[in-house]
Amino acid sequence: MPIGRQLASTAKEVSRAFGEALATAGGSEHVWLILLALKTRENANQRELAAAVGIQGATLTHHLNGMEENGLVVRRRDPQNRRIQVVELTPAGEAAFHRLRAAAVDFDERLRGDLSDDELEHVSEVLARLRANVARDR
């Protein structure tokens, strides 16, 4: 099998399994990434969150609407610039973050399986080189 196809197939399967692990913990990949971004940024506005998560603003708004409905986040206007909405975790959002973080850590351990530290380092190096190879083509 060509390496590109094998890589794409592996990425798809790993992503599917990760999504299932997060769903079992009551979340999704987008919810996890948004919660993670909120935990690492104080008073994050929607534009900053969209950039951190790597999605378009409209897509982020869709996810934030659902998260707000579920009581995970609140949005408020920035007092210095009323056009900007600041997003904050609620106590329920904090609890969801911890649940999803535990699921992500467990998944990472499962993914690593019986690979040695040397093997993991080698995989990391190969993936970095593959990424660099295609980045040069741009």
Per-residue pLDDT tens over the stretch 63-91: 999 999 999 999 998 788 878 888 999 99
Residue 56 lies in domain: 7-135
SS3 content of the chain, % helix, strand, coil (to 5): 70, 10, 20
Into how many domains does the chain fold?
1
C-alpha–C-alpha distance, residues 37 and 47, integer Å: 12
Identify whether 2 is part of a domain. Answer: no
Identify whether 54 is part of a domain. Answer: yes
pTM summary value: 0.86
Q: Is the pLDDT of residue 119 over 90?
A: yes
Identify whether 55 is part of a domain. Answer: yes
Identify whether 1 is part of a domain. Answer: no
Phi then psi dihedrals of residue 84, to 5 deg = -100, 135
Residue listed under structure tokens 């993936």:
127
87: region left, alpha or beta (phi > 0 left; psi from -120 to 50 alpha): beta
Burial of residue 101 (CB within 10 Å: 0-12, 13-18, 19+) is middle
Please report, for the domain that includes residue 105, its CATH number: 1.10.10.10
